Every structure is written in C-alpha cells, then in structure tokens.
C-alpha cells in the first residue's frame, strides 16, 4: 500500500472515530431506507422546472419567463406574463422528542437493544432522511433551533447520546405523571405549521396521557407517535415463579405462576395499544408500533413516507391558498 493511501486510510479511521456511535448506526439504517423512499415536490427554490403561473405585483422581474410569456395568445385566457416556478424540497420545522423515562432503558434479552437505544436510532435516522430532503429538524426541548444543515445532524446525535448516558432520577408511581408531564414538550414553543414525532413506549395509563395529548392538540401540530416496545412486553414469555422490578426502583412484584396470567396480560396490553391508537387518531395523528426484535428499517420507511405524504399535502394546500392566480402545469 502506498504512503498516500495509508495516510488517507489513517485519516478516514481518525474521522470515523470522532463520529458518535449512534450516528454511525443511524446512517446505516437511513441509507437502507433511502433506497425505497421517494422525494417530495412542490413549488419553491429548487433547480428543476415545476410549473408556470401568472406574474403578480411583488414578484421579482428576474423570475419572469419572457420566452413563455411571448408565446401566449393575447386573445386567450392564458394571456399575460408568466413566472417560471421551480421544484423545492419542502422545508418546514419538524421536532423530535425521545422519552427519557426509566422504563425505556430496559431490554428483555441481552441480544436485544433497549427501547431507548432503538428509539434513538430511529429518531436520528429519520432526522438524516428529513435533512437530506431539505426539512428543518431539531430535538424538542434541546434549545437548538431547527436546521437542515449537516452540522445539525451531528448536534442531534450528540444530544441523543447525552440523553442515553445521563443519569435518571428514580421516581415512584406518584411522581410518574409529573415526570411524563415534564418530558412531553407541551410547554415547548412550536412555530406555525410545525410537526412533532414522539418516540416512547407510551405505557403510562391513558388517563394521564390523554391530558398531555390534549394540550398538544391545541397547538395544531401534525403529530406522529412511535411506540417502541420490547417483544416481552407484548407476549409475557415467562413461566413459573418470576420476580418483576420497576426500572431504577426498589419496587418489586413476585408472581408464583406467570403463565397463568399470560392471556389476561396480553388482552390488557393489546387493549391499551388499541385505545392509544384510537385516542390519537381523533386528532388526525398517526400511531406506529415498533418492537425491538424487528429491524428498524421497515418502521423508518413507514414513518418517513407518512411524514412525506402529510407534509406534501399540507404544502400543496398552503400553496393553493397563497397563490390564487396559479395556473396548471404547462411545459415549454
């Protein structure tokens, strides 16, 4: 190997060593999903032709397409001076929120990722896809403004790494509602037309979650809830005498025959998840369930496409409201 090649390889290894491990994993997931994702198109400041519309007072004369304007028939409805509009990847503020609840640090098997780790990978991979598509992204409550710069992706990665490594104050059940109240960003200032993606296990009683969701609903946000669960939380695959312990707590529950309550438990957890989905859908929100024994790519693709469709629908509706003089597409 030449000295130059060795130097380049050494520099590459040094650079990769500075990247947060979470970012490396998220980039791998995002790269896989990107192959099956579709971009978004609507009017803006891109490079490719989108459509023509009539010139309106206030438009820059530099945007006038004089060639198209000269072709218009002065006796037809399409007579006039035309602006050549270009394609743009919709840039709107999208906020990410990751639960810091102690229960998110749990995994039922050493070969499975914790719920918090998987949520972090999904949120960071989503951020990468959105930033690549021109979206402005930030973590809610981080103090960082939304941005679509590559530098912002590194910032989000470090913030998520810090969340995962931070010590979590032990809380008893009487504090759980207050803790959830503090974590969910209902006091956060969201700009108009923002979107919010929340990653959590959402296992808190629905009576408590309902109050918090209602306060977010008043902000007119487009919201996605990504419920991240360990497979054991759905199936309770234990038998015999089992001791359960609340995460980061001394509270324990000993059951002599777990298999005897499995069916009842599974009915309860399925009912909880259905009620959660039904609750948020009344506000037009989306609920996506992901288990840590499944690959993150499928869930990420579903989430990204859903966000793309909603953002695109909103962007087109907004353009129609703002541009009453727009005409249909007409290629030169």
Q: What value, to the nearest 5°, has the Cα angle with vertex 25 and ends 154 and 136? A: 40
Q: Answer yes or no: pTM beyond 0.75.
A: no
Please report the pLDDT score of residue 312 as a whole number.
Answer: 59
DSSP letters spanning 75-112: TSTT-S-EEEEEEE----EEEEEE---GGGG--SSTTS
Helices 21-34, 150-165: crossing angle, 10 deg rounding: 130
Label residue 254 by pLDDT band (50, 70, 90). confident
Quick: pLDDT tens for 157-198: 999 888 777 644 444 433 443 344 345 666 667 776 789 999
Q: What is the C-alpha separation between 194 and 271, in angstroms, rounded?
A: 31
Please report the pLDDT score of residue 327 as a whole number.
Answer: 41
Of 89-93, 145-149, 183-187, 284-288, least confident by mean pLDDT is 89-93
pLDDT average, residue stretch 113-127: 94
pLDDT average, residue stretch 317-322: 48
Distance, C-alpha 72 to centroid of its chain: 45
Provide the CB-side half-sphere exposure for 303 (13 A, CA): 32
Please report the pLDDT score of residue 269 as a whole number.
Answer: 96
Highest mean pLDDT among 58-67, 125-134, 148-157, 226-235: 226-235
Query: In the predicted model, what is the mean pLDDT of the chain?
Result: 76
Contact 324, 317 (CB under 8 A): no
Using the predicted structure, report yes or no on whether residue 199 has a pLDDT greater than 50: yes
Q: Which residue has the higher pLDDT, 57 or 277?
A: 277
Retrieve residue 158's tokens. Answer: 């470090």
Using the predicted structure, report yes or no on whether residue 74 has a pLDDT greater than 80: no
pLDDT average, residue stretch 199-219: 88
Quick: pLDDT tens for 125-148: 999 998 888 888 999 888 888 888
Please report the pLDDT score of residue 286 as a whole number.
Answer: 95
- Using CA atoms in the order 156, 26, 22, 144, what is the torsion angle rounded to 10 degrees? 0
Label residue 301 by pLDDT band (50, 70, 90). very high
pLDDT average, residue stretch 200-213: 90
DSSP letters spanning 164-210: HHS------HHHHHHHHHHHS-TTS---TT-EEEEEE---S-HHHHH
- Within 8 A by CB and 6+ apart from 226, the residues are 119, 122, 197, 198, 199, 200, 288, 290, 299, 303
DSSP structural state of residue 259: G
Q: Which residue has the higher pLDDT, 47 or 125?
A: 125
- Using CA atoms in the order 223, 164, 120, 266, what is the torsion angle rounded to 10 degrees? -80
pLDDT average, residue stretch 88-113: 83
SS3 237: coil
List, in sequence order, the alpha helices (H) in the chain.
3-18, 21-34, 66-71, 115-132, 150-165, 173-183, 206-217, 231-235, 262-281, 296-322
Using the predicted structure, report yes or no on whether residue 48 has a pLDDT greater than 60: no
Evaluated on CA atoms 131, 136, 141, 142, the torsion sign reads positive
- CA–CA distance from 247 to each of 106, 173, 331 (Å)? 7, 11, 61
- Within 8 A by CB and 6+ apart from 211, the residues are none
Q: Which residue has the higher pLDDT, 280 or 80?
A: 280
Please report the pLDDT score of residue 51 as a whole number.
Answer: 62
Using the predicted structure, report yes or no on whether residue 285 has a pLDDT greater than 70: yes
Please report the pLDDT score of residue 110 as a whole number.
Answer: 92
| CA-atom Rg of the chain in angstroms | 25
Distance, C-alpha 140 to centroid of its chain: 11
Catalogue all structural domains in the chain, each as residue range(s) with its CATH number.
42-88 (no CATH), 93-316 (3.40.50.410)
Please report the pLDDT score of residue 214 as a whole number.
Answer: 86
Class of residue 46 by CB neighbours under 10 A (exposed 0-12, middle 13-18, buried 19+): middle
pLDDT average, residue stretch 18-47: 67
Strands 42-54 vs 82-88: parallel, antiparallel or unpaired: antiparallel
Q: Which residue has the higher pLDDT, 80 or 225?
A: 225
Q: What is the C-alpha separation between 134 and 125, in angstroms, rounded?
A: 14
Using the predicted structure, report yes or no on whether residue 73 has a pLDDT greater than 50: yes
């Amino acid at each position: 190997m030449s000295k130059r090649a060795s130097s380049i390889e050494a520099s590459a290894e040094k650079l990769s060593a500075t990247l947060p491990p979470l970012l490396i994993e998220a980039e791998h997931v995002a790269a896989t999903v990107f192959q099956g994702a579709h971009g978004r198109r609507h009017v803006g400041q891109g490079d490719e032709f989108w459509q023509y519309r009539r010139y309106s007072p206030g438009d820059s004369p530099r945007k006038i397409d004089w060639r198209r304007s000269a072709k218009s028939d002065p006796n037809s409805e399409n007579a006039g001076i035309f602006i050549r509009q270009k394609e743009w990847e919709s840039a709107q503020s999208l906020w990410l929120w990751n639960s810091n609840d102690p229960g998110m640090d749990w995994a039922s098997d050493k070969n499975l990722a914790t719920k918090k780790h998987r949520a972090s990978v999904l949120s960071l991979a989503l951020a990468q896809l959105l930033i690549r598509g021109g979206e402005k992204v930030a973590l809610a409550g981080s103090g960082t403004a939304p941005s679509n710069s590559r530098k912002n992706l590194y910032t989000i990665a470090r913030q998520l790494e810090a969340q995962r490594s931070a010590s979590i104050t032990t809380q008893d059940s009487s504090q759980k509602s207050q803790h959830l109240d503090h974590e969910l960003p209902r006091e956060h200032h969201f700009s108009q037309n923002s979107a919010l993606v929340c990653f959590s296990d959402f296992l808190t009683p629905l009576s408590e979650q309902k109050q918090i969701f209602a306060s977010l609903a008043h902000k007119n946000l487009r919201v996605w809830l990504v419920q991240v669960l360990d497979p054991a939380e759905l199936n309770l695959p234990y038998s015999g005498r089992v001791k359960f312990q609340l995460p980061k707590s001394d509270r324990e529950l000993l059951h002599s025959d777990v298999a005897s309550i499995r069916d009842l438990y599974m009915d309860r957890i399925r009912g909880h998840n259905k009620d959660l989905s039904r609750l948020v859908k009344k506000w037009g929100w989306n609920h996506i369930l992901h288990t840590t024994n499944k690959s993150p790519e499928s869930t990420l693709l579903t989430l990204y496409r859903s966000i793309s469709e909603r953002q695109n629908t909103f962007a087109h509706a907004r353009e129609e409201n703002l541009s009453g003089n727009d005409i249909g597409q007409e290629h030169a």
